[in-house]
Structure 1
């Protein structure tokens, strides 16, 4: 557990070594909790400040003391606006962080939506737990509040793609288009004399229906690459099969409930449903979007299209009508409108957040609709182990929410082709476009098997030095591409001055 004394020792440790280091504070050994710390001289830069999501053991990590003193951080750079990359910004703001938070302009817009909504949901869940007495904590408290979220949002500093910005000392940060969600970026941190570290963030798909694909990676001495789909390939999209699945549920008088991420996934699904209906694959049917965050994000995407954002594909920019309207689009803005969707009066399609059914209005819809075998629950994209979405895909016969269990009788189907992450083949292709091999490639942001599989493929296909780092591991940042140079520091006790540099071994 971190302590103020440990924070001070960590800073002293860095100054004694007089080298730049990279520390993996999160997203190592798991998909979520993206947090990486660069220390160079007296500067501390945090790349991403994400929450852990998934099972209870992972979520409890969000309550641990922050690994370093937030007041010692000089700047934060954010890759994109998903909670597992920005969800603890309010926490460090509450604990005294007052520095800048650099991100792309669209990420700044979406972060305001995401963090405000996250604070609201946490406060609501705490109040619900008090009323229904299902929490083991007395009293139940939110991880952070609206006030904390508002304080963190004041720190946002929108930064355009491709423009280096000074972030302290010799260091600069440059954002490059990642194509994952609107505003998503790969982040290159140039430490000056010690070299450059490139963070992929969440890398988008080359066939994303709304966004232009990621640009090629810039030159870097170290690359930190995500591995969410590191052991998988995306299935080919099959509009006809998807439409048949939805039609079957509608014809038996059921509703189609789609838990989906409020940002990007909702927009993708609306465009896909519009294609199906215009092609006659689906009958005109009411399509409800039920998530305050999704509605706000939808307006950001619509405005980006009106502004002809270069992040969007020409097909979206040049659409003759609103590409996000399937024809009978209904936006559920109030709690009363949402409650009526628990038991729809006619067959319909409901898109509701959150995407892994971890919270939000979709949980109430699941409790109401899972017991009815006429209904269909579609789970598009990756489901973190331990979430309700993952449990449903694994064949759970009952799920628990708000202190109660309900039986699962509805049809449950996963649709992996809707993921906004690059799959393993696409990640390898993107890495192969790097101008030169990095000294080290670090594989993060994946389940253990996915990370290990991707690391093996990178070693085999690109012949790069590739490592799956441990949580809280620290490595040195060195310029150049000398494979004989050691770059690992013993971090069994991070911040302890007894840590030793690993000596390079003679090569045969």
Structure 2
């Protein structure tokens, strides 16, 4: 039996996670993400898929984020027709995220054509809402820590990864004629002290390990993110401004609401209105109640006045008209809107109206990938291009460390040290080059593991003749 892997994405970048695992003639695609950020990466979404989608037998998702699931409608459109396995929360989240992703692409293409700022005579979305809906019947829900049998030689099990609701570490067991091998995909690992989610599970054995390295070069400092968030909001309030928080609808929005609720309860920020302007975030927040055993918030839902998703200053805005009305607010409010890296969605029109105002602020609370609008703002760009216009940046720009959904370097090492034996090989994936190489070096030196930072489209034979 021959086992090989090909890196179709998530190699030396934090987007487009796609890993093709071949066990003899069975082809398994682990994750099916959209490339985001730098234009050179985004263009890969439009290229022909490196393997005919019709030849892929199944997709196994680690979690719902678009950089892990967002290419699914295109894959199906091009001929994939197998099952897409995922945890039950991921099944619900993927439907919300893909529909939103398709809607944004349709709107962006229509707007580009109307305003004439696209190079194409008739700009087209990568996929439509109808394309996204064709994915939904193919989703197959799987319980955590329950072995799923693919065939007599291949089984897989999910374990909790933290990160977002339903995110999983994936262990695939392959049984040959003589040996059994375990291949582990970390997925995106969460924090060990996340106030919302349980810490990542530790696994004792892996013959081959694929490990994320988003923050592989981030040395943690003693920081108090809630305090820093409060300070940024107080400083903005003192100037009579609006605090705009770009936050991913899945995970970050819920965490920010948790911290804002606590800050207001403790009297550390004023009791000003908080607007969640993201229909998707509203839908996602409801899932926390439905999947209570996947997170740590149960006791807060039971006590009156302690639910961070429902309190007197919190307002959810669903309609486009309600969203636009926020442009008329001049001060003393907090607006949370997606996307978290300011690459699209409703947050763009808020940025368009807030960036030119010296009294307003933009507060980033999560990882900003290379080439994204969020990263450029953090790097100090004096203008931000939106809707074909260069918007001046006069608002204050903050970055709150410690609120990311990704494990830092120490936490990644702590998770790796949970293995009781050395993997034959460890691939450092889902990280920019410096982060992946730094993590590979640290693991190699401290744990004496063999590490590799793979290139895009690089292939490896993992086992031959087991």
TM range (shorter): over 0.9
Give the whole-Å Cα distance in 1 for the aligned partners of 2:419 and 2:204.
6
Match of 2:72 among 60, 85, 89: 89
Give the whole-Å Cα distance in 2 for the aligned partners of 1:120 and 1:240.
36
Give the whole-Å Cα distance in 2 for the aligned partners of 1:183 and 1:453.
28
Match of 2:199 among 178, 189, 213: 213
Would the aligned equivalents of 1:210 and 1:313 in 2 still touch at CA under 8 Å?
yes
Pick closer, same or farther for the CA change 1:195–1:368 going to 2, 3 Å: same
> Secondary structure of 1:392's match?
helix
> Secondary structure of 1:257's match?
strand
Measured after TM superposition, the shift of residue 342 of structure 1 is: 2.1
Deviations along 1:76-132, whole A, 9 cap, x unmatched? Answer: 100000000000000111111111100000000110100000000000101101110
Would the aligned equivalents of 2:355 and 2:393 in 1 still touch at CA under 8 Å?
yes
Which position in structure 1 is the counterpart of 2:267? 280
Which position in structure 1 is the counterpart of 2:397? 412
Which position in structure 2 is the counterpart of 1:200? 186
Match of 1:124 among 97, 107, 121: 107
Q: Give the alignment of 1:315-464 within 5 angstroms.
A: 315-316=299-300, 319-320=303-304, 321-464=306-449
Give the whole-Å Cα distance in 2 for the aligned partners of 1:234 and 1:291.
31
Would the aligned equivalents of 1:22 and 1:38 in 2 still touch at CA under 8 Å?
yes
Match of 2:463 among 478, 486, 495: 478
Aligned residues: 461
Which position in structure 1 is the counterpart of 2:230? 243
Give the whole-Å Cα distance in 2 for the aligned partners of 1:178 and 1:318.
25
Pick closer, same or farther for the CA change 1:302–1:345 going to 2, 3 Å: farther
> Secondary structure of 2:59's match?
strand
Q: Give the alignment of 1:4-403 within 5 angstroms.
A: 19-168=2-151, 170-193=153-176, 195-235=181-221, 236-304=223-291, 308-312=292-296, 315-316=299-300, 319-320=303-304, 321-403=306-388
Measured after TM superposition, the shift of residue 237 of structure 1 is: 1.8
Would the aligned equivalents of 1:195 and 1:477 in 2 still touch at CA under 8 Å?
no
Measured after TM superposition, the shift of residue 318 of structure 1 is: 5.2
Would the aligned equivalents of 1:196 and 1:479 in 2 still touch at CA under 8 Å?
no
Q: Which moved more, 1:189-198 or 1:127-136?
A: 189-198
Would the aligned equivalents of 1:352 and 1:362 in 2 still touch at CA under 8 Å?
yes
TM-score, structure 1 as length reference: 0.88
Pick closer, same or farther for the CA change 1:167–1:138 going to 2, 3 Å: farther
Unaligned runs of 5+ residues in structure 1 are 1-17, 486-508
Unaligned runs of 5+ residues in structure 2 are none
Give the whole-Å Cα distance in 1 for the aligned partners of 2:403 and 2:3.
39
Deviations along 1:468-496, whole A, 9 cap, x unmatched? Answer: 1111111122399xxxx9xxxxxxxxxxx
TM-score, structure 2 as length reference: 0.96
Deviating beyond 6 angstroms after TM superposition, the runs of 4 or more aligned structure 1 residues are none
When Rg is computed on C-alpha atoms for both structures, the one with the higher figure is 1
